[in-house]
Homo-oligomer: A and B are copies of this chain.
């Protein structure tokens, strides 16, 4: 299960070095996850309205080359593993043929009370169905 989404670097995401601030990248990866989910027929917004929240518990980013203002980038998001309680994704951020960044995240499923819960069937099914 893999999905590619296009984003354009915003002025407000860039810093005095003239490049995208390193905290902009995980925002784009989050968009990548949302769009991967949407491509599989699930909307994260509707999960939340049913009391299912996906919280980032681990984030690892490698920055290879800077993204610049107004660059058009591809965020490639790949589902690596959808376990009983955690979901693993991998990301590649590219500007044409150039890889700017790679990353991994681990998400945990959280209920409305903020406590961990098992990944619900609706997510498991979507994720296995689309592999």
Note all chain B residues with C-beta closer than 8 A to A70: 34, 43-45
Rounded to whole angstroms, the CA-CA distance of A14 and B31 in the bound complex is: 13
Question: Beyond A23-B27, A48-B16, is A34–B55 a contact (Cβ under 8 Å)?
Answer: no
Q: Which of B17, B64, B110 contacts A110 (CB 8 A)?
A: B17
Note all chain B residues with C-beta closer than 8 A to A69: 16, 45, 48
Q: Which of B11, B57, B63 contacts A62 (CB 8 A)?
A: B57
Contact status B53-A57, CB under 8 Å: no
Contact status A60-B60, CB under 8 Å: yes
Q: Is A15 an interface residue (CB 8 A)?
A: yes
Q: Which of B15, B23, B61, B66 contacts A15 (CB 8 A)?
A: B15
Interface residue total, chain A, C-beta cutoff 8 A: 37
Contact status B53-A63, CB under 8 Å: no
Contact code string A6-35 (vs B, CB < 8 Å = 1, else 0) = 000011101111100111001100110010
Q: How far is the CB of A21 from chain B (nearest CB, A)?
A: 5
| Extra contacts besides A23-B23, A58-B63, A59-B63 (16): CB < 8 Å | A11-B15, A11-B21, A11-B30, A11-B44, A12-B23, A17-B53, A22-B26, A26-B26, A44-B70, A45-B70, A48-B69, A56-B63, A57-B64, A58-B61, A58-B62, A59-B60
